[in-house]
Structure 1
């Protein structure tokens, strides 16, 4: 089977993959990303055959009910991330407000404008990007530039009036999200490397960015040990 269909096996038979599948129902599966770019990087996979191969920038406008359904699983994926970080003593919250602030500011949810996998999937991940396997600018910018479309921007309620349409077509989705592959490739190439913690601009200096992210990670989580050995434990 082509790599682009690698997620299909988790959709078809989640019970067969207990080390990867975190949660499943007949409607969706939550799995650990096999190639995580942060210390916690999960994927939410809708299981419906009628929507599994639709484009993520179109599917929620075409199927508004799916967006509502996926909200439940995204919330669960966030909860699983928090529980895992607590279990491994990377975070500790004094109250519910501080926990919610962490979720709101340090867990991101969204999709790639050009997915690398054929099955529809939503990324739910921490924003540390503190892993050795993050090896190039494309890896980083595919999650930190406009190439990565935030979940809230996919809400079909945003486009109910069609106000975002460019008016060029009467057919298909009208959400105004960029689909031109050449423009999106330039977005990844030309967007400078910016720290997700403090906003410092490292231009094209990935080595310096990664050193900086390591220090930011240590400060935020108060750890000095190497976390690269066990991402998505």
Structure 2
């Protein structure tokens, strides 16, 4: 983002990782915080203390840092007494914030903050890059390449589909009701 809101939000992430009360877990190189607008019951961000704009600024030299981010992601799941299989860990392929962050998000997607199709597709299509895919691409290519405009268009306009079954909802409210049913059945 190049507007002032985007810059303010990026600055907000930087100040959030410096405030000890926001910290769930930290290491010498990174911090885990709650997402301010969680899109699921559990939604955390793992941010490096180093100023790295996004995944497109990663190089092979960042692999040890990425491993540290992933270890912290695993740790927060353990601290919250959750199960790894119930989570997605990865990066947005089309980042909306100007600071590198690894999402640790439960697959339930039950949240008042999940409001738009864009919220859903950013986590449940190829717009979400699993951690392992990012490290594999980085090792193979030395960088992370941007998706083409055509691919982004295809992914953002695809039909909604439940991430837990074959249900195809009419709209986001229909999807949210359906996801809530999944969630209550598991509890």
Query: TM-score band, normalised by the shorter chain?
Result: 0.7 to 0.9
Q: 1:134 to 1:29 in 2, by over 3 A?
A: same
State the match for 1:103 in structure 2: 84
How big is each residue's C-alpha offset from its partner over 1:184-210, in whole Å with a ceiling of 9 and x where there is no partner?
24412x2221112223222x5222211
Secondary structure at 1:128's aligned position in 2? coil
For residue 95 of structure 1, what is the aligned residue in structure 2? none
CA–CA separation in structure 2 for the residues paired with 1:67 and 1:60: 10
Greater than 6 Å deviation, 4+ residue runs: none
**Map of 2:19 onto structure 1:** 14
Note if contact 1:108-1:125 (Cα within 8 Å) is conserved in structure 2.
Answer: yes
Q: 2:30, 2:48 within 8 Å by CA — same for their partners in 1?
A: yes
Q: TM-score, normalised by structure 1?
A: 0.69
Q: Distance in 2 between matches of 1:128 and 1:145?
A: 15
**Matched residue, 1:64:** 63
Q: What do you get for the CA RMSD once the two structures are aligned?
A: 2.2
Given the alignment of the two structures, is residue 3 of structure 1 paired with residue 6 of structure 2, yes or no? no
Aligned match of 2:4: none
SS of the aligned residue for 1:155 comes to: helix
**Contact map agreement 1:44 1:124 (CA 8 A) in 2:** yes
Give the unaligned 5+ runs of structure 2. 1-6
Match of 2:28 in 1: 26
Instruction: Name whichever structure is richer in helix by fraction.
Output: 2
Contact 2:26/2:72 (<8 A) preserved = no
Q: Give unpaired runs (5+ residues) of structure 1.
A: 84-101, 166-171, 222-233
The residue that corresponds to 1:168 in the other structure is none
Q: 1:200 aligns with which of 158, 167, 171?
A: 167
> 1:184 matched to which residue of 2?
152
Task: Describe the SS at the equivalent of 1:130.
Answer: coil
- Give, in angstroms, the shift of residue 21 of structure 1: 1.8
Asked if the contact 1:30/1:42 (under 8 Å) is kept, the reply is: yes
Aligned length: 181
Structure showing greater radius of gyration is: 1
Pairwise CA distance, 1:60: 5.3
Correspondence 1:65-104 to 2 at 5 A: 65-82=64-81, 102-104=83-85
TM-score by length of 2: 0.84
Any idea what SS the aligned residue of 2:80 has? Answer: helix
Offset at residue 43 of structure 1 (A): 0.3
Per-residue deviation at 1:10?
A: 2.5
Per the TM alignment, residue 179 of structure 1 is displaced from its structure 2 partner at its CA by 2.8
Once residues 106 and 48 of structure 2 are traced to their aligned partners in structure 1, the CA distance between those partners, rounded to angstroms, is 21
- Secondary structure of the 1:29 match is strand
